[in-house]
Chain A
Amino acid sequence: MSNLPKLDVQGVVEGIRNGCFTAEEYISSLLDRIEKIDKKINAFITLNKSAINQAKEIDKKIKRGDPVGSLAGIGIGIKDNISTINLKTTCASKMLSEYVPPYNATVVKKLLDKDAIIIGKVNLDEFAMGSTTEWSFFGLTRNPWNTGYVCGGSSGGSAASVAAQMCTVSLGSDTGGSIRCPSSFCSVVGLKPTYGLVSRYGLISYSNSLEQIGPIGKNVSDVREIFSTISGKDFNDNTTLDNNIYNHNAENNKSYNNKKIKIGLIKELIDGADIDVSKCIYSSLDVFKNLDFECEETSLKSTEYALASYYTIATAEASSNLARYDNIRYGFELDPEEYEWNVYFSKVRGNFGNEVKRRIIVGTYVLSSGYYGKYYLKAQKARSMIKTELKQLFKKYDLLISSTVPVLPFKIGEKIDDPLMMYLIDVNTVLANLSGIPAVSIPAGFKDGLPIGIQIMADELEEEKLFNSSELFEKSININSYPDL
């Protein structure tokens, strides 16, 4: 029974279907583990009190011989910026500490339709702004591999809960690396899909043109499974792509089997990484070479503007998206009656955390009269340059790789006082958000017990290439260890 939490999606679904254990037993094992170890990690903000009952319902259906969904019985951790009906959705912020959505995000609905069970809502940097999950109103989340170290962010709870086997898989969101960074720091697999493949309806917006919801799992197969469940055109989100666009491409991808896959290592990103990290990446390249991939170094010159472009666009959009938090319709208890409206708004919004306030102010600045051309417009131009340069590279290479993050996981509190230092963590990951291409982080090794992840990027709509090559790499490198909890 103590091995149940170690199972992946296939293991759980088949185990339940074949009667090896019940859904109730499985979900209980997760909940027991949460009770035992989450106090050391703090991955969960809210647990789903109905999880056991939902598991029992599935068991009843199975017993009756009724059909159940293809994800029946798996336990999902959902990043707390994704709306779940009747389950508090706080964005790890005081501003939404009491907010219970009256609707489900589309991705949640899709998972529930397949009989997946929500274990609970997991921790994040407030409003998804951060790279270490240290900016949460509900306390920071610790790295399961070494609890003195950060777990990455902003989807820290999502990655840590999977790494610590407190749920089968989880959902995170990725605006500048927020799925991939914690996946790398926690040694799990995380995918940021092509922009437009997964509906954002229900995702509480930080930066709408950059963010996507994506899966985090123990292995590539799990991530692939969840991705195929949650992706698809949604009439509630006008920025989702037509279904035939993606499927069509998947067909095309199969043809690459006949020729060698060519991988480009982005030299600007390797040069910027810590020595231990780059050593690991070079070793990973050897793994790929042994798998008969062609590997060489390449250059992406516009990388130098990527971070500036990202933080300009993201903060600008954030300053607008977070304007709605005025505590009038939803929020926390503070009677507006005694206050003049300007005073009330300013006072309640002072309750955002420091990082959120900083980003809103910077975002307001870059959009303000006189500065729009200097910052926002130039950032969009840089974004366009990056996308063009990437498109050129993808004519030559099938995949582009780098380390996911330029540094090893660091000690809690180490970078918290220097926002700019913190932002530099995202330099490798923002490229995919700016250009809309898919990117995955997969475990590549350890240094002194701290995980290192490799990031693989493919052209738009080529998730299949990512999955196939990651899977080969994963099997080859065969990291089979678990954090000691």
Chain B
Amino acid sequence: MITKDELKHLSKLSKIELSEEEYETYLKQIEKIVGYLDKLDEISLNEMESYSMIKKISDLREDKVNEFDRDIQKVIKNKKDKFVRGPQMN
């Protein structure tokens, strides 16, 4: 059971604004989806095989500087005196 309050909390946590309509539609849909995911309850959490990739330290990147040589400035659309313009902070 997902309540509207929980959905509001999730909307805040994920920083996604939802309209009243969306709250209504999503609530039903997400409840259904999460209800399906509840299938996982049947699984017990005892020992599991770990298939993670493990790297050696010797395989890691050397500590060398390599300046990015392409034009990255044009990607950043919103600048003020070379700073990136952000929103208001309180």
Contact = CB atoms under 8 A, between A and B. Distances in A.
Given A305-B39, A308-B36, A308-B39, A350 B89 contact: no
B15 A368 contact: no
B84 A384 contact: no
Contacts of B61: 235
Of listed B51, B72, B76, B84, residue having the most chain A CB within 10 A: B51
A341 B86 CA distance: 8
Contacts of B1: none
B23 to A, nearest CB: 11
A446 B31 CA distance: 37
Contacts of B72: 102
Interface of B: 2, 6-7, 10-19, 22, 26, 29-30, 32-34, 36-37, 39-43, 45, 48-51, 53, 55, 61, 68, 70-72, 74-78, 84-90
B37 A337 contact: no
A100 interface: yes
Contact of B14 (A238, A360, A382): A360
**Shortest 4 CB-CB contacts between residues of A and residues of B:** A336-B87, A350-B17, A378-B40, A341-B87
Interface string A294-312: 0000000000110111011
Given A319-B14, A423-B33, A100 B75 contact: yes
Interface in A385-443: 385, 387-388, 419-420, 423, 436
Interface of A: 85, 98-103, 196, 235, 238-239, 304-305, 307-309, 311-312, 319, 323, 326, 328-331, 333, 335-347, 349-350, 352, 354, 357-358, 360-362, 364-366, 368, 373-375, 377-382, 384-385, 387-388, 419-420, 423, 436
B74 to A, nearest CB: 7
A186 to B, nearest CB: 27
A344 B26 contact: no
A365 B68 CA distance: 37
Given A339-B87, A357-B26, A102 B14 contact: no
A388 B43 CA distance: 15
A336 B45 contact: no
B85 A336 contact: yes
Given A102-B75, A328-B84, A385-B48, A366 B13 contact: no
A89 to B, nearest CB: 11
A155 B86 CA distance: 34
Given A308-B39, A336-B78, A387 B49 contact: yes
B69 to A, nearest CB: 10
Nearest to B77: A330
25 contacts: A99-B75, A326-B15, A328-B84, A328-B87, A335-B78, A337-B85, A340-B88, A340-B90, A341-B86, A341-B88, A341-B89, A344-B87, A345-B15, A349-B14, A349-B15, A354-B22, A357-B18, A358-B29, A360-B14, A360-B16, A361-B11, A365-B34, A420-B32, A420-B36, A423-B36
B64 to A, nearest CB: 12
A206 B42 CA distance: 27
Given A102-B74, A328-B86, A349-B15, A362 B30 contact: yes
A307 B14 CA distance: 23
B21 to A, nearest CB: 11
A319 B15 CA distance: 11
A364 B17 contact: no
A420 B11 CA distance: 20
Contacts of A98: 77
A349 to B, nearest CB: 5
A381 B45 contact: yes
A483 B17 CA distance: 43
Contacts of A436: 51
